């Protein structure tokens, strides 16, 4: 058992860093910020309603994803601690199922909204 846990640890340590990458949100922006004493340069602030809407949608999607993962973890914990009780198992499965359904629905709505914004913004 110790060999399996050591092997799993080594594999996880080697696999997970490959999913980490630097986010280039502002790397491609064409702006020359001045030293404004901590004021955000104009190139980062959205100049129109669609830009603001895009930022709000990104924040909401991050929030929805975080909440969905949290509820999946809660449902998993409920399932593990159900101790064979049928009602607790059913509640845990429902929690996980509804969290996944909510995540899929939010991703589908994000795709539709992104499609609409891309075509309206042109």
Across the chain, mean pLDDT equals 79
User: Would you give the DSSP letter of residue 47?
Assistant: -
Question: What pLDDT is stored for residue 71 in this prediction?
Answer: 93
Convert the pLDDT of each residue in 78-95 to its tens digit.
999 998 899 999 999 999
Residues 6 or more apart whose CB falls under 8 angstroms from that of 57 comprise 110, 113, 114, 117
**117 in Cβ contact with 46 (< 8 Å):** no
Q: How confident is the model at residue 14 (pLDDT cuts 50, 70, 90)?
A: confident
Q: Where are the alpha helices (DSSP H) in the chain?
A: 2-15, 49-80, 86-120
Convert the pLDDT of each residue in 51-75 to its tens digit.
788 788 888 888 898 899 999 999 9
Task: Examine the pLDDT at 4 and tell me if it is beyond 70.
Answer: yes
Cβ-count burial of 10 within 10 angstroms (0-12 exposed, 13-18 middle, 19+ buried)?
Answer: exposed
Task: Examine the pLDDT at 38 and tell me if it is beyond 70.
Answer: no
Phi, psi (degrees; rounded to nearest 5) at 38? 95, 0
Question: What pLDDT is stored for residue 121 in this prediction?
Answer: 64
Give the separation between CA 72 and CA 93, rounded to whole angstroms. 9
Phi, psi (degrees; rounded to nearest 5) at 23? -85, 125
Structural domain boundaries of the chain? Answer: 46-122
HSE-CB for 105 with a 13 A CA cutoff: 7
Task: Examine the pLDDT at 37 and tell me if it is beyond 60.
Answer: no
């Amino acid at each position: 058992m110790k060999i399996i846990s050591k092997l799993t640890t080594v594999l996880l340590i080697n696999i997970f860093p490959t999913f980490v990458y630097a986010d280039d949100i502002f790397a491609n922006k064409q702006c020359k910020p001045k030293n404004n004493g901590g004021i955000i340069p104009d190139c980062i602030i959205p100049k129109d309603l669609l830009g603001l809407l895009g930022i709000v949608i990104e924040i909401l999607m991050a929030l929805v994803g975080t909440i969905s993962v949290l509820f999946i973890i809660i449902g998993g914990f409920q399932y593990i601690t159900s101790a064979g009780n049928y009602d607790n198992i059913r509640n845990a499965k429902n929690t996980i199922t509804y969290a996944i359904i909510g995540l899929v629905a939010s991703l589908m709505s994000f795709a539709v909204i992104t499609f609409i914004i891309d075509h309206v913004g042109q």
